[in-house]
Amino acid sequence: MLFDLKSIVVYGLVALAHASPLPELSKRAKLSDFQCPDGTTLSEHDIREALHECQRHNDGSIGKYPAYFGNKSNNQKVFNNIPDGTDLREFPIIVGGKYTGGVPGAYRVVTDYKDNRGDFRGVMQHTGATAGGAYTACTRVANTKREPVEEKEENGNEERSVQMTETEIPEDSTDNTVNDLATRAKKKKVGSATCSDGVTLSKDSVGNAFKECKKHNDYGVGGYPHKFGNKSGNGQVFAGVTKDLREYPIVEGGTWTSGSPGKYRVVTDYKNNFVGVMVEDAGASFTRCTVHDD
């Protein structure tokens, strides 16, 4: 009888495992550098610029872009890993810049239409002789020199943040050539933050916003998180930081999910590392807040 009971339990667990939806191995394609068929390597930064523009605009807003893409080239799929029937769209990638109209060039970022904004699905190159010609998928560059360091940092983010010594970049720093590899050794920890308007945001409130920012893709919740260009007037908000950044609203005593975002923001990079806190001033400018070592 005991054997039968064990068998029932084991088989029941197996049945539950099969009945429950398994987590996706990769819920979305990953941003990185991509190498295209003509030998050009497109940087992650340039791809993210195009992705950001694609997510911000309705189809046909800039020239004819973003434009619907049927995932076909000469009756063959361009991206074999994307299920049939997935609606896709494309937007031009400009090396060292951002597409604003005119000739789109050869390279495209491709997204789906998820949540009316779209998740990143891949990169491709126009390889045909005409505007309506062939497209070929570009290949993700998996072994860039910076990737192992950043991946290791991302995976061990919470444990390492406790062990590392925090050394902030001085507020009056004028050296905007600080190497990002050096600043990683000065990684900041989440703490309470005092802003230029005299308000001190609690560590819990900053932490709540930080967690939400890490959870969501760009534009995943009411337009946030979204890219932050680290500019205010003619200067940088976070002096010396050259990585791509994004922002998410901070609500004192709670968590922002919709409506007016208020004027306080947590700022992270795209590896989910905490960068700092800022407050919006008059004229849509931002000022860095002082994060305390709580």
* 52 and 134 co-located in one domain: yes
Considering the domain boundaries, does residue 204 fall inside one?
A: yes
* 176 and 271 co-located in one domain: yes
Q: What share of the chain has pLDDT > 70, as a percent?
A: 73
Considering the domain boundaries, does residue 26 fall inside one?
A: no
* 88 and 196 co-located in one domain: no
- Whether 163 shows a pLDDT value over 70: the answer reads no
Q: Residue 29 corresponds to which tokens in the numbers above?
A: 């394609």
* Alpha helix positions (H), the chain: 2-19, 44-56, 147-155, 157-163, 180-184, 203-215
Report the pLDDT averaged over residues 246-254: 94
Peptide bond into 66 cis (omega under 30): yes
Amino acid sitting at position 259: G
* 240 and 278 co-located in one domain: yes
Q: Coil, strand, or helix at residue 141? A: coil
DSSP 79-127: -TTSPTT--EEEEE--TTS---SS---SEEEEEE-GGGT--EEEEEEE-
Task: For residue range 269-294, list pLDDT tens digits in order.
Answer: 999 999 999 999 877 789 999 999 87
Task: For residue range 257-269, list pLDDT tens digits in order.
Answer: 888 899 999 999 9
Considering the domain boundaries, does residue 60 fall inside one?
A: yes
pLDDT at 194: 96
Neighbours of 104 (CB within 10 A): 20
Among 119, 140, 161, the domain-final residue is: 140
* 182 and 259 co-located in one domain: yes
Task: For residue range 8-46, list pLDDT tens digits in order.
Answer: 444 444 444 444 333 333 345 678 999 999 999 999 999
Distance CA 63, CA 103 (A): 9
Q: Which of 27-36, 55-64, 84-93 has the lowest mean pLDDT?
A: 27-36
Distance CA 175, CA 188 (A): 19
Considering the domain boundaries, does residue 192 fall inside one?
A: yes
**pTM attached to this predicted model:** 0.54
* 277 and 182 co-located in one domain: yes
Domain count along the chain: 2
Q: Is 102 exposed, middle or buried (0-12, 13-18, 19+ CB in 10 A)?
A: exposed
* 99 and 179 co-located in one domain: no
Considering the domain boundaries, does residue 4 fall inside one?
A: no
pLDDT at 190: 94
Distance CA 125, CA 79 (A): 12
* 241 and 178 co-located in one domain: yes
* 185 and 282 co-located in one domain: yes
pLDDT at 78: 95
* 136 and 238 co-located in one domain: no
- Whether 161 shows a pLDDT value over 90: the answer reads no
pLDDT at 214: 92
> Per this entry, what is the length of the chain?
294
Considering the domain boundaries, does residue 151 fall inside one?
A: no
CA 104 to chain CA mean position, Å = 24
* 173 and 282 co-located in one domain: yes
Considering the domain boundaries, does residue 207 fall inside one?
A: yes
Considering the domain boundaries, does residue 118 fall inside one?
A: yes
- Whether 61 shows a pLDDT value over 90: the answer reads yes
More confident residue, 165 or 51: 51
Please provide the average confidence, as pLDDT, over all residues in the chain: 79
- Whether 155 shows a pLDDT value over 60: the answer reads no
CATH number of domain containing 42: 3.10.450.30
* 213 and 282 co-located in one domain: yes
pLDDT at 288: 95
pLDDT at 133: 67
The domain of 80 spans 34-140
Report the pLDDT averaged over residues 181-202: 80
More confident residue, 207 or 152: 207
Q: Which residue has the tokens 């992270």?
A: 268
Q: What share of the chain has pLDDT > 90, as a percent?
A: 53
Name the nearest CA neighbour of 87 among 130, 48, 119: 119
Q: Residue 237 corresponds to which tokens in the numbers above?
A: 């908000």
